[in-house]
Chain A
Amino acid sequence: MIEVQDLSKNYKTFTAVDHLSFSVGVGEIYGLLGPNGVGKTTTLRMLATLLQPSQGTALVAGYDIRKEPLEVRRNLGIVNGGMQVYERLTGREVLQFFASFYGVEGKLFEERLEWVTHLLRMDDVLGKLVREMSTGMRQKTVIARAILHQPPVLLLDEATAGLDVFARRALLDFIAQYKALGKSLVYSTHVMSEAEEVCDRVGFINAGKLVYEGSKSEALAMGKGNLERAFIRRLEVA
């Protein structure tokens, strides 16, 4: 579902992403793991066609991020920790606004709204103005906004940042449920324990380079049952 091929992003004085290649299959959660500032967000922004790669490319749902950006966007959803929704709109208005760009309107919108409301348990969110919502409610709205068009690919970038324990739990539960629908997810985080819970395969990224890639069980074995230890060990070896 995602094929990243030799992807690089160079700025004037440094390389943010350095010849990255990995793939994510259908119904798979791929963990892109590493500390802050190593190129995870830049990679996801390139996949979402928000940034132009300096080199290499990627196929998302069969579409080239360089050549078919609008098609790529139609087939993915993106959630990051810093993302918010419009403060002066209600939850329903936010969802209606974004869904309309994907052709999800009228009866189809109502159906999807019912689906997402049930999936994220967000009945109490729809009629509220975003500025009156709690952090958890806002995060649910952000996720609902990203999946209302049921994209085959979902990118999550530090999606649990700033969430309380309940909202974080709800998000991790949702990720498992969304995967069960046969969707592909890239889960980018520096919190290894979250990756241990939700990911099928992981890639360790450092200084823009992919320094390790394997199944979660292989990575856990390398770290003696702990992904964080595996990551540090891998860096020491490198």
Chain B
Amino acid sequence: MSAVVRIYLKEMLSVLRERRVIFTTLVLPILLMPILMYGPLLFFGNAARQTEAKVQKVGVQDMPEAAVLFLRQAKVEPVPTSSPESDVREQRYQAAVRFQDGIFTIYGRLSGATQSSLVVSKLETALRGYKDSLVAQTLRARGLSPQILEPVGIRTQDASRVQERAAGIFAFLIPYFLVIFILNGGQAVAIDSTAGEKEKGTLEALLAAPVPLVQIVIGKALATLSVALAAALAGVVGILLGGTVVRGSFAGLLQGQGANIGGGLSLEPWAYGALLLTSVLFAALMVSIQLSLGVYARSYKEAQSFMAPLLLVFIIPLLMLQFSDFLTQQAWFYLIPAFNVMLLLDGLVKGSAEGWQVTLTWISTLVYAALALGLAVRSFRREDVVFRN
């Protein structure tokens, strides 16, 4: 058995015996992802359904009698008021409406996902119905059909790829969480096997063993890589399983709301392989950087403080992925470390990745990973780094 394998197995054994690491990197994502992703949507969906079904009191001022009938049909109970705006502001009513000079003004608290906004929607629908009925009445009185208001129809058709449509919100979330979990999952092991070893005084003993330094670094990098990928996989499994379970268990809740909760991956087999290989290459790059930072740190805490900005650095391009459609994609984008991976993951999930993008990203990331590994070995070789404590 080579020294690389021995060091790898030792690191993995250490990880497996640390319940905290196992829980936070492997178990927690599976448990937490469904709650994080679907919890708010389910809660809001349920609240919306109840708001739809129940009758809410709304303030009304100077409302025509016919319009009040429409409001009642839309399951709201009009209550006369002389101050509709302040009533809503002070939350006496979820919404209110005033009629003045031929204009209905609807008042609501519209910042964020409020119950008020749902009641406002009910009012809008009811008043639109009232307005349409008035138009129809007027037209009929003049011997005209209301159909003349719609001389042509307008229909919108989603022309995106099957994969992109199936992915839904996953198109953004899968690349996002893959990157986050790779960074987060690898961090604990990278720190433990570098700064942690320095702090505990075990690194010196290992470096004094007759093992070439390259093999020590590769053994540690492989262990970190394994845990980072396992964490990423756990996160993706959490998202996919969570989506399936939520859709299966709460089908009733979701029905009729037009809510496309989550999504699903509908990729060609090669695309799954490409996703995996892209993740492996990205993880190899990140792991080497984390090892370099980790060995430079004096202590576990210092290493954490070095690595926290690393996460922030990647969050900005990740958030920009949401707007990737607005980018005019150019070849050199696929040479930018890490950003190329995010773009490619996005393309793979949407089924829009092209061969040249895959090739550029893989080759460049492989080169960057090799350079980062070289940097890690160099860091381990530097006396002022290893004995910096």
Q: What residues make up the interface of A, taking CB atoms closer than 8 Å to B?
A: 45, 48-52, 70-71, 73-74, 78, 80, 82-89, 93, 97-98, 100-102, 129, 142, 145-146
Contacts and interface: CB of A to CB of B under 8 A. Distances in A.
A80 B200 contact: no
Given A52-B383, A89-B13, A100-B1, A84 B202 contact: yes
B207 A50 contact: yes
Contacts of A89: 10, 13-14, 17
A170 B207 CA distance: 27
Interface in B210-246: 210-212
Interface in B160-219: 200-202, 204-205, 207-212
A84 B200 contact: yes
Given A83-B202, A101-B3, A73 B14 contact: no
A70 B209 CA distance: 8
B13 A145 contact: no
Interface string B1-24: 101001000100110011000000
Best-surrounded residue of A49, A80, A86 (most CB of chain B within 10 A): A86
Contacts of A45: 387
B212 A51 contact: no
B204 A80 contact: yes
A88 B18 contact: yes
A77 to B, nearest CB: 8
A83 B204 contact: yes
Contacts of B212: 70
A50 B204 contact: yes
Interface residues of B, number: 22
Contact of A73 (B1, B6, B210, B387): B210
Interface in B372-387: 383, 386-387
B260 to A, nearest CB: 45
Contacts of B205: 78, 83, 85, 98, 142, 145-146
B208 A73 contact: yes
A52 B384 CA distance: 11
Contact of A70 (B202, B204, B210): B210
A73 B207 CA distance: 9
Q: Which 10 A-B pairs have the closest CB atoms?
A: A73-B210, A88-B17, A84-B201, A101-B209, A74-B210, A88-B14, A82-B201, A70-B210, A84-B200, A83-B201
Nearest to A74: B210
A97 B6 contact: yes
B202 A101 contact: no
B359 to A, nearest CB: 40
Contacts of B202: 83-86
A86 B10 contact: yes
Given A70-B212, A100-B6, 6 more contacts: A49-B208, A50-B387, A52-B383, A83-B202, A89-B14, A101-B211
A96 to B, nearest CB: 9
13 contacts: A51-B387, A70-B210, A70-B212, A73-B209, A80-B204, A83-B202, A85-B202, A86-B14, A88-B13, A93-B13, A98-B209, A101-B6, A102-B209
A84 B207 CA distance: 13
B83 to A, nearest CB: 68
Nearest to A70: B210
Nearest to B15: A88
Contacts of B211: 101
A66 B205 CA distance: 19
Contacts of A70: 210, 212
A55 to B, nearest CB: 15
A101 B219 CA distance: 13
A48 B208 contact: yes
Contacts of B383: 50-52
Given A83-B201, A84-B202, A87-B200, A78 B208 contact: yes
A121 B10 CA distance: 26
A83 B204 CA distance: 7
Contacts of B209: 73, 98, 101-102
Interface string B87-131: 000000000000000000000000000000000000000000000
Contacts of A73: 208-210
Contacts of B18: 88
A71 B211 CA distance: 10
A48 B383 CA distance: 13
A142 B208 CA distance: 13
A49 B210 CA distance: 10
A49 to B, nearest CB: 8
A102 B210 contact: yes
Nearest to A11: B384
Contacts of B200: 84, 87
A68 B380 CA distance: 19
Contact of A101 (B210, B386, B387): B210
A35 B202 CA distance: 24
Contacts of A78: 204-205, 208
B12 to A, nearest CB: 11
Contacts of A101: 3, 6, 209-211
